[in-house]
Amino acid sequence: MKLTRREFLMGSSATIGLLMVEGVLAATPRNPKSSAIKIRKAGPAAPSKGEWVPSTCQGCTAWCAVEIFVQDNRAVKVRGNQLSKANNGYCCPRGHLIPQQTYDPDRIKVPMKRTNPVKGRGVDPQFVPISWDEALDLVADKMIELRKNDEPHKFAYIRGRYSSTATQILYGALPAIYGTPNYFSHSAICAEAEKMGPGLTQGFFGYRDYDLARTRCLVTWGCDPVSSNRMVPATIKHLGDIIARGSLIAVDPRMSTSAAKAHEWLPIKPGTDGALASAMAHVLLVEGLWNREFVGDFKDGKNLFVAGAAVDEAAFAEKETHGLVKWWNIELKDKTPAWAEQETLIPAAQTLRVARMMAKHAPQTAVWMGPGAAMYPRGTYAAMAVHALNGLLGSIDVEGGVLQTTSPPLGAYPKRDAYLDEVAKKHGKGKKVDGRGAKDMPAMMNARPGSGVVTNNIANGMLKDPGAVKVLLSSWSNFNFSCTDPARWDKALAQLPFFAHMVTNASEMTQFADVVLPSTMNASEGLSVISNNGLTHGFASIQQPAGKRLWDVKQEETEVCWLLAAKLKARGFPNLYDYFANEFKDPETGKTPTNEMEFSEVLAKISSAPLWMPKEALKGDKLEGWADYRKKGIYNTQQYSFKKGWGGKFNTATKKFEFYSETLKKGLTEHAAKYQTTIDEVLKVSGYLAQGELAFVPHYEAPKRHGSYQDYPFEFVDYKSRLNREGRSANLPWYQEFKKMDTGDVSWGDVLKMNPADGAKLGLKTGDTVKITSPAGSIVTQLRLWEGIRPGTVTKCYGQGHWAYGRVAAGDYAKALPRGGNNNEILVDDYDRLSGSTARNGGFTGVRIEKA
């Protein structure tokens, strides 16, 4: 059915714009003569010949199962694993960048050694190529020296991206057997604060799964899951259908893709997510829209939730939840949409309308909370407030709702306790340099104080005590770029005696390395087993070589670990090597590995053996053996069993979904007792506003802000590019070419987006070079005036601003000049201290904008 011209013009404002755009392109109308077109047959053609090799993407944390097309031993192109259930045979744009990343000319092709002893940003390390033998000799010598001096705890390992199974070698066995407590994950600079939402309410400290095929109302809150966060291909697949059958609601200060497509966009003032969530909860209760099956009801059936009025706890009978009335009395009763409007700048009418919309589709309403609503000072409480809406809506663990996860059965590595000598036992359990568990850093992941990593605080720990770390090993990391206030990392690493970096590219962090051990590009060159979940299924996907390795590079967690262990053995410390060589046996043949490649295969086989040689039949996919697993590349579990936590089976202190978190209370009580102080005092020194009972319920805490409005008038919003392969793809021309696919962005550029009204006030226009200054520092970039951001708030994507990494990513690699600006340079080093997460969202850093 063809649109009439009137419908064409009236139907969509978009098409009017498009006509204008087209007009620009076609300055002079042309009238083709159809008579001149002769039809002619084309000659033979055929698709390329080759084979699809299954592997795993790891371009973000979705860890999608993919297949790489291999022709003549070359990785050519990528698609999703056709058997995958979590990503249904598709990958997002990131996956398509794998061959480009594999064949990046700026990849490090051999081990390198620093010849310039001076270290600093912009100082040429004067790297020279060396052999693996020499490189590992250098590392092993340093490690042995520490053990000889009885200070193995001064060896630290920090992991960036890792294999979910093989990490137990480099992150597990090596520090334990060598004897250091200083091994750290990158996790806390990513999205750990998010986990506090489901963690402190339902005892699930993890990333939720979503049953998108049955969701009727999707609320993307502080994330843009069709671009980044998690389950990207799955969300891309289902978003259009959700729009068609129900409602899409986007809570985001900037117009993300989800926000652009949504029925309702709530451009919230950064950091006020808790206020909006409390107001929505208030509406759901006052209007009687909560889910009776999950939450329960008033004993006499009459809704006593009236704005401003306290309710008798005894009047309500809860079912799967705990503390609803307490939450109402402590936090919600006065949190009307009109109140929230003052904080969030979201009109009360919209909050009301959206809350009703969410209730209309409940329980097939999924509130998908992302880092934007949690990764800021005091973010734990915002995460709880946003996630608690799922509780009110009854969406927890139901079809179309918000789920916990399913994992495939994987094999564990042999026990290593017998290989820990006295030195390892003495030093392995000491204090960690990241400051977790300090009075003002509860870092209570899993509700256990002091259990969460505080990644970004490692640099502070090293600066405070310069002798604390003498030898650092790190893999697939770039903290001098990816952490807020990265100058601290520059300083800490410049004064570090010895640093060995295991990476694919000479990143910013690599510029401080003494030895560089070039890594395989694991999505196309590694061998391991990666497990994750999505769309109600868990999976274990293989990562294996697709094509031949072009360079003298080695897999850091398996091959390098084996070779390093051999070097340590040659120097009189055999324990690690003996553990690897004696205990790890091929599950089929019982053979022990004799070299690094065999070791890596044995590891992958041990991890995956329960999938392809199960002791009893599995409920998920059937696999015929190791060869079959490598050929198919994936094991999918059976579907998630819904209502897993219902019936008193949530992993909380009360076994219920806690609107009043006894789980948090327990953790805070323990932490306060450790310091012989009160919970109120702990919260105060950790920067929270809550005192008393408010500390145990999801609630709104006014945003913490570095920089006065007078000096730094704008809120700054940071977010991730849909093409970021965790910060490793900016050196690819295809990344730069399609940067424009990030809403409001410009290809080959890095633009700060500002509302045109602010531009007019400041006399700034699109294309101007501007300086963004915060209390932490300043960066220079291009300006784009854009209606996708509110006046008073500016936004820029994270990803550009590299001054190293490669010649495409950097403005000038040789001169250490950035392309655009790195957001982290202007973000203050601060934390959500209950989780230990690095703050990067919520407008916690004020900025000012000037013409540069």
Partner 1 sequence: MPKYGMVIDLQKCVGCGACALACKAENNTRDRGDNNAHNWADFISTTEGKFPNTTQIVLPVLCNHCDVPACIPKCPVVPSAIFKTPDGFVLIDHETCTGCKACQQSCPYSTEALDDRSLAGETYSVISFNNKRKPAQPRWEDNTAMIPGCTSSGAEVAKAAGAPLPAMNGYESTETQPVRARGVFEKCTFCYHRVTHGLLPACVDVCPSKARIFGDLKNPKSEIAQIVKKQKYFRLQEDKGTKPNVYYINKYSARA
Which tokens in the block code for residue 296?
A: 């329960």
Nearer CB in complex with partner 1: 248/695: 248
Nearer CB in complex with partner 1: 574/756: 756
**Listed residue (549, 623, 613) closest to 586, CA to CA:** 613
Nearer CB in complex with partner 1: 665/790: 790
CB of 654 to partner 1, least distance (A): 40
Nearer CB in complex with partner 1: 456/800: 800
Nearer CB in complex with partner 1: 102/380: 102
Nearer CB in complex with partner 1: 242/392: 242
Which residues face 396 on adjacent strands? Answer: 402
Residue with tokens 């490090």: 108
Contact 726, 59 (CB under 8 A): yes
H/E stretch holding 209 reads strand 209-210
Phi then psi for residue 312, to 5 deg, are: -75, 125
Q: Which residues are CB-contacts of 316 (< 8 A; sequence separation ≥ 6)?
A: 296, 297, 298, 299, 304, 324, 325
Query: How many CA atoms lie within 13 Å of 91's alpha carbon, on the beta-carbon side?
Result: 29
CB of 94 to partner 1, least distance (A): 9
CB of 260 to partner 1, least distance (A): 4
Nearer CB in complex with partner 1: 703/806: 806
CB of 79 to partner 1, least distance (A): 6
CB of 738 to partner 1, least distance (A): 5
Residue with tokens 């040429």: 124
CB of 89 to partner 1, least distance (A): 9
Contact 506, 808 (CB under 8 A): no
Nearer CB in complex with partner 1: 209/830: 209
Phi then psi for residue 504, to 5 deg, are: -90, -30
Nearer CB in complex with partner 1: 239/679: 239
CB of 551 to partner 1, least distance (A): 7
| Cα separation, 358 vs 528, whole angstroms | 41
DSSP 524-548: HH--EEEEEEETTEEEEEEE---S-
CB of 705 to partner 1, least distance (A): 22
Q: Which residues are CB-contacts of 133 (< 8 A; sequence separation ≥ 6)?
A: none
Nearer CB in complex with partner 1: 78/375: 78
Nearer CB in complex with partner 1: 76/410: 76
Nearer CB in complex with partner 1: 593/788: 788
Nearer CB in complex with partner 1: 89/614: 89
**Helix (H/G/I), strand (E/B), else coil: 157:** strand
CB of 276 to partner 1, least distance (A): 14
Q: Which residues are CB-contacts of 17 (< 8 A; sequence separation ≥ 6)?
A: none
Residue 168 DSSP label: I
Question: How long is the chain?
Answer: 852
Nearer CB in complex with partner 1: 2/619: 2
H/E stretch holding 260 reads helix 257-261
Nearer CB in complex with partner 1: 90/205: 90
Q: Which residues are CB-contacts of 634 (< 8 A; sequence separation ≥ 6)?
A: 54, 65, 81, 83, 84, 539, 540, 541, 542, 621
CB of 844 to partner 1, least distance (A): 22
CB of 4 to partner 1, least distance (A): 10
Torsion of CA 399, 405, 410, 413, to 10 degrees: -170
CB of 720 to partner 1, least distance (A): 14
| Cα separation, 760 vs 769, whole angstroms | 15
| Cα separation, 653 vs 202, whole angstroms | 9
CB of 347 to partner 1, least distance (A): 9
**Listed residue (316, 127, 210) closest to 804, CA to CA:** 127
Which residues face 366 on adjacent strands? Answer: 218
H/E stretch holding 680 reads helix 679-685
Nearer CB in complex with partner 1: 71/582: 71
Nearer CB in complex with partner 1: 103/646: 103
Nearer CB in complex with partner 1: 265/577: 265
98: left (phi over 0), alpha (psi -120 to 50) or beta: alpha
| Cα separation, 782 vs 766, whole angstroms | 8
**Listed residue (548, 497, 483, 577) closest to 178, CA to CA:** 577
CB of 483 to partner 1, least distance (A): 24
CB of 6 to partner 1, least distance (A): 12
Which tokens in the block code for residue 595?
A: 């070299």
CB of 156 to partner 1, least distance (A): 25
| Cα separation, 792 vs 849, whole angstroms | 11
CB of 365 to partner 1, least distance (A): 16
In angstroms, what CA-CA distances link 9 with 12, 16, 761? 6, 6, 34
Q: From the centroid of its chain, how far is CA 851?
A: 33
Contact 212, 376 (CB under 8 A): no
| Cα separation, 463 vs 667, whole angstroms | 30
| Cα separation, 188 vs 384, whole angstroms | 17
**Helix (H/G/I), strand (E/B), else coil: 300:** coil
Q: Letter for the amino acid at 328?
A: W
In angstroms, what CA-CA distances link 580 with 166, 183, 419, 625? 12, 19, 10, 24
CB of 518 to partner 1, least distance (A): 8
